[in-house]
Each structure stands twice: as structure tokens, then as C-alpha cells.
Structure 1
Amino acid sequence: MALRMMVYGGLLYQDLIKRGEVLADGRLPPVLPIVLYNGSQRWSAVTDVFDLIPPVPGLVEQFKPRLKYLLIDENAWTDSELASLKNLVAAVFRIEHPASPDAIVGLLSLLHEWLAERPDLRRMFALWIRATLMRKAEYRIVLPQIDDLQELNVMLAERLEEWAQAYKAEGKAEGKAEGKAEGKAEGKAEGEALALQKLLKRRFGAVSAEVLAKISAASLEQIDAWLDQVLDARSLDDIFGPTTA
């Protein structure tokens, strides 16, 4: 990523020069490279292209290229830390990874309060939050076109938890029914395992062989515990712990 950011920065400066958008004295304006990361794993790449090149003896070392970017890793912050910041970026992070459906409603109330004097930002956040929720498989929400935070907040307060629990119940029911149809002899545990696999696939996509093996070897009580975690988990690791796949 550090190398890519250096390339992006160079291309940006070339474009600014081409369009004549430079400082009055001909120098280039400052640019702050930012990488916003919201993946499930912690960021491990270097943040300075200088660190991609091994030490060089002699004069060459001081001429190695340098370009450092600002990394904003959402997973580096806990929900309580984000809540204490009380700013819009922190609110965005918390909406993308809500601790619970109720947390989203609370965040909408805060945004409505913070943006009381900014109707343009209230509309922008309402549209973005609506689109974000409709993309989340665990809610399966179809919302009317809403561009008002307060209206969105009222609607979600009435229905969000209901939708979330209904989806969870539906996933369990479908999985149990499918498991029963495929082999009644294996009993309830197989139906629960199939329900869990179905929910995991909907929530996170393809499930690794390692996770499938854990499910296959688990007790009915353990599978029930995992089923209860699926709705609020951010990744498979939150449910099963670190995996090799």
C-alpha cells in the first residue's frame, strides 16, 4: 500500500501541474495521504515506502524514497473508545460495525443532535445510513427513500430489532428444515449445524474447511451458542477465534 500511495500522490501532483492548480510561487500544495481500513484483520503493512527497501550501505541510504501515509484502522478502536471521541468519523465507524441494532438507533439520535445546524449533512448521513443498512445481510431491510435523520431514526426504532430477530429466526428455521430433509437420522444436532452454516454463508460468504470441521465436531450446546453470536459478530474470528484459513 505504501508504494501504491506514492504512485497515487505522484499522479495527483502531475494532474495538478497539468491543470495549473499549483501555489502562487509555482510550488505544489501539501497533500495528506490517508488509508481508511475497515477489514476484519488488523492492518500489518508498513506505512512508509522507506521501510519497503532494505538498508543500503554508504551514500545511497540517504536517497531512499520516503512517503508515509496516515492509517486509520477501524479495528484499532473499541466501541467504548469511539463513543468517547464524540465526532462524526467515530460515529461512521460505529454505524458500520454496530454492537447491536439498538446501538444504531442511539447513534442516529446523536447525529441528529450534533448536526442540528447542518441540514445538508443530516441529509447526507440519512442517505448513507439507509444504503448501509440495506446492504447488511443480517437485517434484510427494505426502506423507503428517506433523507431525514429524525424520520429514519423513528422508523428504525420501531422495526430494526424486530427485523434482526426475524432474520435470525428465519435462518435457524430454514437450516433446521433443510437438515431434517437431508437426513432425519442424524437428529437435531445436524439440523442446527446446517442452520449455522447457512447463516455464516449469508453473513460472511464462503466458509473455510477449518470452520466447517469445527462445526461438524461441536456439541449441540456449542452450536447453539455460535448461532446466538452470528448476528452481532463482525467476522468469523469473532465466533470461532483465529483460524488458519
Structure 2
Amino acid sequence: MDMHNPHDRLFKTTWSDRNSARNFFQHYLPPDLLKLIDLDTLQLCTESFIEEDLQEYRCDLLYKTTIDGRPGYLYFLFEHKSHADPDVALQLLGYMRAIWHLYRKQEAGGARAPLPVIVPLVLYHGRNAWTCGDDLLSRFEQPATCLLRHIPNFQFVLIDLSRYSDAEIQGEALLRASLLLFKYVFTPEYRDRLPGIFALLKSLVESTTGMQYIETIIRYVLSTLEDAGGTGTLKKVVEESLSKDKGDMVMTIAETLYKEGLERGIQQGIQQGIQQGIQQGIHQGLVNAIELGLEIKFGAQASYLFASIRQLTDVDRLKAIREAIRIGASLKDIEEMIIAHQA
């Protein structure tokens, strides 16, 4: 797993667990759909349908199940781009076509086999609320009524975490903790929410398998918490949330992970840039931090952005770019932030 993309790891760890996935669908599928789906038949498939150039800010999981008494699929897409993508429905259509093609290859009957129903779901946790609609028709500009019969359309189930209160985020401990982390990771209150989120994990600490999930969550927090300062901040959070003996167990995991160099590249790059900034000025330090972070995360392919970055004079904009690199933004996202400032 690419640790430069911590969102993917937490998503796949949580929703690859059959109990967590089932629990999620029970709480977040519309009731009329839920009564048609037999979650007892839920099976995780190994296939992924995301194009290589979109893997930096999108991942997916496919579940085979029974829908209305017939074979069907739940296709779960996780959008962790910093802003809503208006082309998600169009891309979902391509993924659904690929699933149908795979089904016909694997099932008896081939091209004569009836197509299974696919229910697409999108989990989104960007900085701003989703405003791009939840169907394919919304991508067309007010077509005449007589044209509608010629336009393919479908609706996906949208779970926009910004629209859920904490009380509305339901499910068992691992599921709720993951959803709350995703909800707050891009917000200024992320650090303040961590004690309450870790408090949900008390039941997981008691089991061996639960500790595996705890490790994934610790990795996520260490990867996304600004100025983590090693495990110091996390230690305080754990002490506030768990009993001391269980807290010590969790901290042992956290310290081991940190010593292994979790997020070593980006964090050290940013810190080097900040230290240079003390000597050379805040502006130059931020530029150095960004260039180091980009080089470590993306390698030589990011070098084309360096000239544009050096021309930026807005310190707040540079800080926003530095933050975007730290929390796992894609190279395309960074480029868009620079272009938006220059426009």
C-alpha cells in the first residue's frame, strides 16, 4: 500500500472487513434499496476499475450480492479529492460497463446472460460540500424532453460526510471512527476531534484482531496530523481517550510505526524547508518545503511546477499548498491550486 495515500489504506482496511461493510450498508443505503438487498450474501470481489491516472485521489471496492432475488453488485467509490468532481457519474458509467463485461466473462450464458443490477455508491469527504449532482443527467444542459429517451441516466448513492452531524454518523466502532476521521481530516478542528474518535476504539483494544485496525488508524493519524512532533501529540490524545494500560499498548504501536519512518519523506522535507525558512525568510522556507515535499512524493515529474511555485508571493497560498502536499493531494490538485492563484 502506498503510504503517500493514507486515505486509501484506511478505506480499504475498514470496508474490506465484511462486518464493517455490511454495517455501513445497513446504515447508509436508502431504505427502499436496503429491503431488496440480501446482505447475508455479501462477498468482496478482488477487482478494481480505477484508471491509473486517477488512483491518487480515488479508490474503489466491489461487492457481489443478491438484489431483488437476482445476482447484483454494490460498487463503492471513495473520492478523496479536495473538491467535488463533476465527471464522477460519467466515470461511474465506465466502471459499471467494465463490471458488466467482467460478469459476462465469468458467468454462464455469455452475451445472452441478463445484466445484473449495479448499485453505485460514492463516499466523499472533500473540503467543501458536494455540489455536482448525483446522476448522469445533471451533466447535460437542460435537454429537451423528447431527447431524454436518448440520454443514458442513473443515480448513485452519495454519502457526503460534510452533510452528516456526528450523531448521524452511525455504525460499529471501527466504521464510526473511520468515517469521523474522514469527515474532519481536512478541517481545522481535526486535532480537537481525535480524543472522541479514539474513545470509540476502546472495544477494539480488547481483541487481537482489533489491534490490527488500531494500527491502521494510528498510521492514518500520524500521516495526516499536522506538526505531529513524533508521537507526542498522539500520546496525549490516547491518554485522554483510553485507560493508561491500554493507552500504553497503543502508544507502543505508535512509537514503533514512527520509528520505522512513517511519512518520513514528506515530513522531513517540510521540516527541512521550515528550518531553511528561519534563516532565509518565511517565503523562501515555504518554497523550499513545497519543492522538497513534491520531489519526495512525486519525484522528477513534479519539477515542472517549481518555476511557478517560486513566482508565488502569497504566503497563505504557499501554506495551503504545503498543507495539501502533507495530507496527500494529487499532483493535479497542486497544479490546480497554483493555476487558480495565477488566474
TM-score with structure 2 setting the length: 0.42
Q: Deviations over 1:8-53 (max 9, x none)?
A: 112212322322289xxx6544322122334445444342112223
Equivalent position of 2:197 in the other structure: 107
- Structure-1 separation of matches of 2:149 and 2:311: 48
In the alignment, is residue 19 of structure 1 matched against residue 106 of structure 2? Answer: yes
Q: Is 1:129 paired with 2:223?
A: no
Q: Which amino acid aligns with 1:213?
A: T
Q: Which residue does the alignment assign to 1:72?
A: 159
Percent identity, aligned pairs only, is 18
Q: How does 1:1-245 map to 2 (within 5 A)?
A: 1-20=88-107, 27-57=114-144, 59-74=146-161, 76-77=162-163, 81-82=165-166, 85-87=169-171, 88-96=174-182, 97=185, 99-101=189-191, 103-113=193-203, 115=204, 120=209, 122-136=210-224, 138=226, 139=228, 151-152=249-250, 172-177=274-279, 179=280, 191-198=281-288, 212-215=312-315, 244=341
Aligned length in residues: 202
Q: Which runs of 5+ in 1 are unaligned?
A: 143-148, 161-165, 180-190, 219-225, 236-242
Extract unaligned runs of 5+ from structure 2. 1-87, 232-245, 259-266, 298-304, 330-339
The change in CA–CA distance for 1:71 and 1:201 in structure 2 (over 3 A counts) is farther
Letter in 1 for 2:135: D
Corresponding letter in the other structure for 2:139? L
- Give the whole-Å Cα distance in 2 for the aligned partners of 1:4 and 1:203: 30
Cα distance in structure 2, aligned partners of 1:211 and 1:112: 49
Structure number with higher strand proportion: 2
State how far apart, in whole Å, the 2-side matches of 1:174 and 1:108 are: 35
Structure 1 residues 110 and 202: alpha-carbon distance in aligned structure 2, compared to 1, 3 A threshold: farther
C-alpha contact 1:105 1:156 (8 A) present in aligned 2: no
Say if 1:133 and 1:141, in contact at 8 Å, map to a contact too: no
Deviation (angstroms), 1:103: 3.7
Q: CA deviation at 1:134?
A: 4.8
Distance 1:198 1:41 in 2: 28
Structure 1 residues 110 and 62 mapped into 2: Cα distance closer, same or farther (>3 Å)? same
Q: 1:211 to 1:119 in 2, by over 3 A?
A: farther
Between Structure 1 and Structure 2, the one with more helix by share is 1
Deviations 1:214-241 (A, max 9, x none): 33xx9xxxxxxx89xx79x979xxxxxx
Q: Please give the root-mean-square deviation of Cα atoms over the aligned residues, in Å.
A: 5.1
